[in-house]
Amino acid sequence: MSDWKDLVGASEPGFGSSGFAIPPSDNGRILALIHAKGNMLYSVGDNGGAAKAFEDAVLIAVGRHFTNVQGLVDHILRVVTARLYNTQVEKPARVSHDPLLLTPEQAMSTAKACFPALGELPFLRYIPGGSTGMQRKAIISTTSNSLLSLAKIFQDGMSNPSRSVRVTPLQAGVRDILALYYLSLALQPSPSTANNVGILLAGVPQVAPSAHTMQKVEVPGVVPGSGIALALQYYNYGLQLDQHHAHLYTNLGSLLKDIGQLDAAITMYERAVKCDGRFDIALANLANAVKDKGRISAAIGFYKRAVEVNPDFAEAVCGLANALNSVCGWQSRGGIADDGGRRDRWHVDRNGMLLDARQPGATSSGWIKRVVDIVEKQLVDGESWGCGVLQPTILEKMLLQVLILDGSLDDAIDRQDSLRQVLRSWHHQKWEGARLTRLVERATRRISWHRYQDSHVRKQRRTSTCYDRPQLPANLSVPTAPTVLPFHTFTAPMSPKQIRLISQRNGLRISVCTLRAPWLPREVYPPPLPPSPQLHVGYVSSDFNNHPLAHLMQSVFGMHNRKRVEAYCYATTANDNSVHRRQIQGEAPHFRDASGWTAERLVNQIVRDGIHILVNLNGYTRGARNEVFAARPAPIQMAFMGFAGTLGAEWCDYLLADETSIPPSTLRPWRRNVDVEDQLADDNNGGDDNSWVYGENVIFCRDTFFCCDHRQSAPDAKEPKVSWSEEQARRWAMRKGLFPNIPDDAVIFGNFNQLYKIEPTTFRTWLRILARVPNAILWLLRFPDLGESHLLNTARQWATPDVASRVIFTDVAPKHLHISRARVCDLVIDTPECNAHTTAADVLWSGTPLLTLPRYEYKMCSRMAASILKGALPKNAEGDQVTVELIATSEEDYEEKAVSLGKSLLYPPGSQGVGQGRLVELRHMLYEARWTSGLFDTKRWTRDLEDAYEEAWRRWVAGEGGDIWLSDIPRKET
């Protein structure tokens, strides 16, 4: 304005320094007004407007020396870095996006480093009253809060794109956000700021230079100077400022839980709840932690409190459902009536009574409906993840990255035009983020293949940039994963599409987090040398200890024919000194204890070991290191034995299965999975076909895919073989010892699974079987013990007192006794929702017949026992007949088969356990067949696996895709 000099106070020093035509005495007022505007806009959900207001407030406070907040961030990072490393402050653009890791003490000096002339905000230059003046204190507080609020908006936008609408992101994400927090903390120490810094640092994988970390206390499992170590410092620093800050206690507890300090985590959660008894997140986290300690009853109580506070809190609702399901607490469970009850036949009302979903008018209800509804909403919301990221400049860059090697020069333009058209069709459509991430992963895999071909087949050289790793767009956020984990779908009545999408979302989250890791090299990893002649096969597992996987596979790694396969085992958990760990470690040609290794170190070791095929023995189970696979350190990556389902991830090329466990009808129609064009055509995300589950290629085994080492390692395998008559006498003696009070003519049905695998439809069938076989009992395990009271109460509600009295529980036995005492059962009746897996093999090794029902075509977990049973039977007409007798085709068939077999069994008076009937014949067959059957022939299984490895490698080198049927490949005699 031309006459601003005529305004009142215009002659005062500092007039207009705020950017407004006001005297400096009003600067604090205008700053407070703009900050208040930001708070108001934030409260109504206008994060873009709020961010602009907070940015204006911050720029005023720093004297309008920067055109935007990015300029301020650049300044902070330059001066603080210079101070840390004793270098001169320079103005060139930053070369690294790695976060600057500061301790709380170092962060407190940020303001002095940034504004050295006065050591304070430039805005305060014209404010009277000295350092203790109220106006100056208010301005400092307001500026610090504006920095905190602005950083929080940026931070929320990284994890939830819907909250970043109209918010211009900072260039370097976490690095730049931390800079704002550091300055905020330096101006005004705040527990909330320390909390937010801790949250950010907990996800930073890098380690600060040791000279600058000032680590005071070493924490087991934490690398000094790492993001996690510094996060712990900030949480504790915040608690020094406020000992009643519930969020700080909660986040500290979560970090402690992540690093294996479960007891300490529980203490922190308890303190959080003590500070705020209605803090839903703290209550749910406390519930999760005490559940991990086996305190199911306490967990249910905390979940209920969290749901009472916030009925829409997904984590609490789903956690409560899982906890109740684990102990068969079915009251108000309800059920899912979709598909006419085929997925979930019998529901349970609020009184604990049954409802038939096949009745006209039946509807979904109860807490199981709430869980499925939550997941469905999360999956639908997730379809829009990454929508809009493929801007024209990013699109053209992607074209160059993914087409750099494939095809000839003659067709390059046509291919480029075709790909450009496809990418444009993805823009602003559902699945944009998912499709783009998979495209980057497929291109990475394809570039790795070309690097191998150039080095070892074509023998040609290219410039190193040809092997650059394709990059995700910087503005693509990390996707959220559904609250229900892939493992929980085993016992949830969900559709094929829902199960597939849950795994896919988890896989994408792991992919994006890994592809953003600062330790990934610019180029794709160098390929291994060609086999000479043996393949190097790496096995990554957290279960090379006293764990079912080790029980099943312990002989495999040393049993490989070393002319064909050289095994490398990477153990990601510490040595428990069990016999299983000792055997694997002693027999595997190469055993790496990687329990304390970062993902970077493990990936680099795999590359140095020249691994051709990398095997994931965890999948989506506890202790998994899936980020290692997402980094793509090996040409071929596959998964088996650890997780009975799809991983839904581009970083898993093959699953090992058979046509019983994975029917071909459940595969995605497009099966080639080789080059970029395949990724464009396969409809992995989107499409109209909702019936398929498995996008990975599958290796279909000649026999059961399941490996069971009992012939080498079961307790009785090492004893002298006993005759059939001696086995019958031994079995009867064990029965009399376990159940001295049941009549000699009693038929023992049993199930040894954890109780979470039982659901209302199955338990109702079991009670009907008992009612129809009046001399039968049902033997279950206290697994966990709280489930016993729930199931007995349910039995009294749903059946007669006589039937309920014949449901008997015992404690879980140690592994060696568990296998041997399985022989006491006359017939093990399986859980159709999620079968017995290792337990099925244990039962069959004991000779006990197993009745199973593969309830779902699309759920591998419900088909495992059928595969295992087929593997235990002789390969002849008699074995084929037994599969008909012991593998049911429906719920009704399952009941009829159990009743028929139970009624056929007779123990004549004085027979001393020498029974008569079909069950005795089946037991005799299984007992004798275990020494020759495919299931227990680990050497056979290992040779078939070697055939699979060699065929997969041959196809990879040749650039061929598709599924592998081992039955079509001649077996190598070795």
Query: For residue range 179-194, what is the model confidence (pLDDT) as tens digits?
Result: 999 999 999 999 999 9
Q: How confident is the model at residue 359 (pLDDT cuts 50, 70, 90)?
A: very high
Q: Which range has highest mean pLDDT (122-136, 212-226, 416-430)?
A: 416-430
In the chain, the percentage of residues whose pLDDT exceeds 90 is: 77
- Interval 377-382 mean pLDDT: 96
Return the C-alpha torsion angle 540, 542, 547, 549, nearest 10: -20
Quick one: tokens of 689? 């076909």
Q: How confident is the model at residue 17 (pLDDT cuts 50, 70, 90)?
A: low
- Interval 48-68 mean pLDDT: 90
Residue 631 has a pLDDT of 98
Confidence check: pLDDT of 682 > 80? no
822 and 848 Cβ atoms separated by less than 8 Å: yes
Residue 91 has a pLDDT of 53
Q: What is the pTM of this model?
A: 0.91
Widest CA span of the chain, in angstroms? Answer: 119
Residue 118 has a pLDDT of 60
Confidence check: pLDDT of 590 > 90? yes
Confidence check: pLDDT of 4 > 90? no
Give the position of tokens 């035509």. Answer: 21
Residue 7 has a pLDDT of 60
Q: Which residue in 473, 633, 636, 668 sits closest to 565, CA to CA?
A: 636
Q: Higher confidence at residue 103 or residue 217?
A: 103
Domains of the chain: 24-162+169-188 (no CATH), 392-467 (no CATH), 517-708+941-968 (3.40.50.11380), 720-935 (3.40.50.2000)
- Interval 28-42 mean pLDDT: 92
**How far, in Å, are 461, 632, 676 from residue 405 at the CA level?**
12, 18, 11
- Interval 417-432 mean pLDDT: 92
Confidence check: pLDDT of 419 > 50? yes
Confidence check: pLDDT of 747 > 50? yes
Separation between Cα atoms, residue 243 and residue 275, nearest integer Å? 9
- Interval 517-525 mean pLDDT: 92
**How far, in Å, are 780, 817, 820 from residue 813 at the CA level?**
12, 6, 10
Confidence check: pLDDT of 93 > 70? no
Q: Decide: residue 358, CB within 10 A, 0-12 exposed, 13-18 middle, 19+ buried.
A: exposed
Quick one: tokens of 769? 């079987």
Confidence check: pLDDT of 467 > 60? yes
Quick one: tokens of 480? 């959220």
Residue 95 has a pLDDT of 44
Which of 463-477, 647-661, 915-929 comes out lowest in average pLDDT?
463-477
Q: DSSP 3-state assignment of 556?
A: helix
Confidence check: pLDDT of 25 > 90? no
Which of 394-398, 558-562, 847-851 comes out lowest in average pLDDT?
394-398
Q: Higher confidence at residue 947 or residue 3?
A: 947
Confidence check: pLDDT of 855 > 80? yes
Residue 14 has a pLDDT of 67
Residue 161 has a pLDDT of 62
Strand partners, 266: none
Q: How confident is the model at residue 687 (pLDDT cuts 50, 70, 90)?
A: confident
Strands (DSSP E) found in 160-258: none
Separation between Cα atoms, residue 486 and residue 473, nearest integer Å? 27
Confidence check: pLDDT of 686 > 50? yes
- Interval 322-337 mean pLDDT: 98
Q: How confident is the model at residue 9 (pLDDT cuts 50, 70, 90)?
A: low
Confidence check: pLDDT of 435 > 80? yes
pLDDT 10s digits, 691-744: 999 999 999 999 999 999 999 998 888 888 899 999 999 999 999 999 999 999
Strand partners, 375: none
Separation between Cα atoms, residue 535 and residue 613, nearest integer Å? 8
The count of residues in the chain is 974
Residue 94 has a pLDDT of 46
Q: How confident is the model at residue 92 (pLDDT cuts 50, 70, 90)?
A: very low
Residue 407 has a pLDDT of 66
Query: Using the 8-state DSSP alphabet, how is residue 480 labeled?
Result: P
pLDDT 10s digits, 234-254: 999 999 999 999 999 999 999
Confidence check: pLDDT of 13 > 80? no
Separation between Cα atoms, residue 586 and residue 569, nearest integer Å? 11
- Interval 86-106 mean pLDDT: 71
Q: Decide: residue 628, CB within 10 A, 0-12 exposed, 13-18 middle, 19+ buried.
A: buried
Q: Decide: residue 351, CB within 10 A, 0-12 exposed, 13-18 middle, 19+ buried.
A: exposed
Q: Which residue in 7, 24, 8, 6 sits closest to 16, CA to CA?
A: 24
Write b or e for each residue in 454-477: b if 16 or more Cβ atoms lie within 10 A of its Cβ, otherwise e.
bbeeeeeeeeeeebbbbbbbebbb
Q: How confident is the model at residue 202 (pLDDT cuts 50, 70, 90)?
A: very high
Give the position of tokens 């609250």. Answer: 483
Q: Compute the mean pLDDT over every residue in the chain, rounded to the nearest whole number.
A: 92
Q: DSSP readout, 576-631?
A: ---HHHHHHHHHSSEEEE-TT--HHHHHHHHHHTT-SEEEES-SSSTT--HHHHHT
Q: Higher confidence at residue 135 or residue 79?
A: 79
Q: Which residue in 243, 232, 234, 236 sits closest to 193, CA to CA?
A: 234
Write b or e for each residue in 257-287: b if 16 or more Cβ atoms lie within 10 A of its Cβ, otherwise e.
bebebeebbbbbbbbbbebbeebbbbbbbbb
Which helix (H) or strand (E) segment holds residue 76: the answer is: helix 69-85
Q: How many CB atoms lie within 10 A of CB 919?
A: 20
Residue 129 has a pLDDT of 63
Which of 3-17, 805-819, 874-888 comes out lowest in average pLDDT?
3-17
Confidence check: pLDDT of 122 > 90? no
Confidence check: pLDDT of 610 > 70? yes
Residue 211 has a pLDDT of 41
In the chain, the percentage of residues whose pLDDT exceeds 70 is: 93
Separation between Cα atoms, residue 116 and residue 130, nearest integer Å? 17
Q: Which residue in 527, 532, 537 sits closest to 608, CA to CA?
A: 527
Separation between Cα atoms, residue 543 and residue 867, nearest integer Å? 23
Q: Higher confidence at residue 84 or residue 446?
A: 446
